[in-house]
Amino acid sequence: MNPKSGLVTGLLFFLAIPVSAEVYRNVDSYGNVTYSDEPSEGAEAVEVKPVTTITLPKPEVVQETEKLREEVQREGAVYDSVSFAYPDNNQAFHSGSGDVQFEVRSTPGLQSGHKYEVTLDGQPVGQSTSGSITVNNVFRGSHEARVHIVDENGVQVKTGSPITFTVHRPSALN
């Protein structure tokens, strides 16, 4: 058993022991408040909420997670790049309906089971294997878009640089 495992085990054991000690609050003649685990004259018992405990994953699970992370990095390493072909960064355009057509590309092309995923302002809005994704009813104003390549489990294996674009839409006020 290595020293770190012993330390973690000891901490978990300590956190798992229920604490049943009482806490007492005392206010002296000057208004100073003190807390103690021993009762004293004029002290009142204070109810302490239970301590929140967490259960750490077993070392085997952590090792499996590391292996998966390494596998995802290997999958992403097969791609040199992923980026938007349209719209361009800092582009502004008119869209009466608010529909935006994203065109994405990667070098090399997608592997079997992988998809392009577009996020708009941090939220996923569509996936495609063709490289063309249409997002409907995008609000007027500036937005940030990102393109990712995701594997068959939905795990992002490669992420492109973000772009910013502005949508102009007609207004009932004009």
Q: Which domains does the chain have, with CATH numbers?
A: 80-168 (2.60.40.10)
Question: Model-level pTM greater than 0.75?
Answer: no
Give pLDDT tens digits for 129-163: 999 999 999 999 999 999 999 988 888 889 999 99
Structure token digits, residue 107: 């070098």
Own/partner contacts of 23-28, CB < 8 Å, gap of 24 or more, are 23/48
Count other C-beta atoms under 10 Å from residue 116's C-beta: 25
Give pLDDT tens digits for 22-57: 889 998 888 899 988 888 888 899 888 888 888 877
